[in-house]
Amino acid sequence: MISQTIEYALRAMIHLAGLEAGSSVNSETIAEATRVPQGYLSKIMRDLVVAGLVNSRRGPNGGFVLAVPAETISMLDVVNAVDPFRRITKCPLGKPAHLALCPLHQRMDDAMASVEAEFRRTTLAEVLESGRAIKPGCRVLMTPTRSAVARPGKTPNA
């Protein structure tokens, strides 16, 4: 249900959300921190820029930065920028007699509606904040800038 593109985009956006306000970071740093292949990340970042979620800055201090506060960006905004969910609106088998979805496809669409609703109500800021309690080993959500501030005396990503 969730494509690799969506997961990679969410990782990148969470990384950007964890930076100090106004700080930019280059794609190499994002790729390394989020374990997203550099070439794949470039396409994703382009889509996020086109969607208005990220700004791109050129030059020696350039890179990527969130275009709007993390508190205003929902996970669904990110999904819609890179690989929108495809809801089931008609019979996937193409049978003209099926005016309504069969029970199987209706339940599949209901499940997708639930995921979509959860992603719509969850902001990047909420994900980042809940990630502060992540156990060692899953360090994608922790960024050096915020984690060092949020957890004084502890090494980032520990």
Task: Work out the burial of residue 40: count CB atoms within 10 Å of its CB; fewer than 13 is exposed, 13-18 middle, 19 or more buried.
Answer: middle
pLDDT for position 117: 96
Q: What is the model's pLDDT at position 152?
A: 40
The pLDDT averaged over each successive group of 10 residues in the chain (158 residues) is: 92 92 89 94 96 91 91 97 90 75 87 95 92 52 43 39
The pLDDT score that the predictor gives to residue 62 is 83
Structure tokens at 129: 């904040």
Q: Count the neighbouring beta carbons within 10 Å of the beta carbon of residue 92.
A: 13
Alpha-carbon gap, residue 115 to 142, rounded angstroms: 24
| pLDDT of the residue at 149 | 37
Let me know: does 34 contact 8? Beta carbons within 8 Å.
yes
Model pTM above 0.85: no
Instruction: Find, among 89, 76, 70, 72, the residue nearest to 117 by Cα.
Output: 76
Looking at domain 4-85+124-150, does it have CATH number 1.10.10.10? yes
Q: What is the DSSP letter of 87?
A: -
Q: Where are the domains of the chain?
A: 4-85+124-150
Structure tokens at 7: 């997961």
Q: What pLDDT score was predicted for residue 45? A: 96
CA-closest candidate to residue 1, choices 83, 117, 91: 83
